[in-house]
Structures are given as C-alpha cells and as structure tokens.
Amino acid sequence: MSGTVLEDAVAGAFRKRGYIVFTRRNHCDVLAVKPDMTLAYLVECKDYALSSKQQVLAVRELNRNYTHALELLIQQRLCPEKVLKVLVAKGFAYQARGILQYTPETFIRHVSS
C-alpha cells in the first residue's frame, strides 16, 4: 500500500462516517473534522514500519503540520473543540508522547467502528 493509497483509504473511512475530510491539503496528509465540531483528526500516513530516526522525523512533521492544519481549519471556518494528532504506520520504534499511533488496519477499523 503506497502512501497515497493509504491516505485515500483513511480519508474514505472518515467520509463513510460523515466527517468533513481534507486530503493532501496545506501539508497535511489527512485532516478529518466531525460535523458536530467536537473533534478533528490530523493524520500523518507512512506506509512502512518506522525506525527510531524515521519516527522522530515523522513526529516532528506531524507537529509542524498541526500549525498548517489550524490554518486550514480557520480558512474553512471550522472550529473543532479538540484536534488529535495521529501517526499511522506499519510499525513503531517507540510510543511518542501526545500522539496516537496506529497501524493502518487498526486505525481504519477504529474510524469505521
């Protein structure tokens, strides 16, 4: 599964649940907002297992993209109460603080449930 295919699969799972979804916009892989504005997910997708160094870079990228996500939300006049940062990859070297981490299959199952 390539990164683009993974992003599309995650975005599709959110769309099926009625989320407002932005894919590959403003540096963000996937930004999904619940229609009732209680929650948004900023998702960084990696279609491989992350080494410790790759994970540090992915977490840094996710944190940097958080600002871009907020800009996009303001432009679209959306104001969710909370934005969760999610890293989706095939494997992880460690548990990053303040970031939810899922394998692609588990995350799509989580969104779909």
Domains defined along the chain, listed by start? 3-112 (3.40.1350)
Report yes or no on whether pTM surpasses 0.85. Answer: yes
* pLDDT under 50: residue ranges of the chain: none
Q: Which pair of tokens denotes residue 100? A: 């939810």
Give me the pLDDT at residue 44, please.
96
Q: Average pLDDT over the chain, rounded to whole?
A: 94
**For residue 9, which amino acid is it?**
A
In terms of DSSP bridges, do strands 20-25 and 40-45 run parallel, antiparallel, or are they unpaired? unpaired
Query: Could you tell me the strand order of the sheet in which 100-102 lies?
Result: 20-25, 28-33, 40-45, 83-88, 100-102
Q: Please report the pLDDT score of residue 2 as a whole number.
A: 61
Question: Tokens 């997708």 appear where?
Answer: 45
Q: So what's the pLDDT on residue 4? A: 87
Confidence at residue 1, expressed as pLDDT on a 0 to 100 scale: 54
Q: Convert the pLDDT of each residue in 27-57 to its tens digit.
A: 999 999 999 999 999 999 999 999 999 999 9
Measured distance CA(111)–CA(12) in Å, rounded? 10
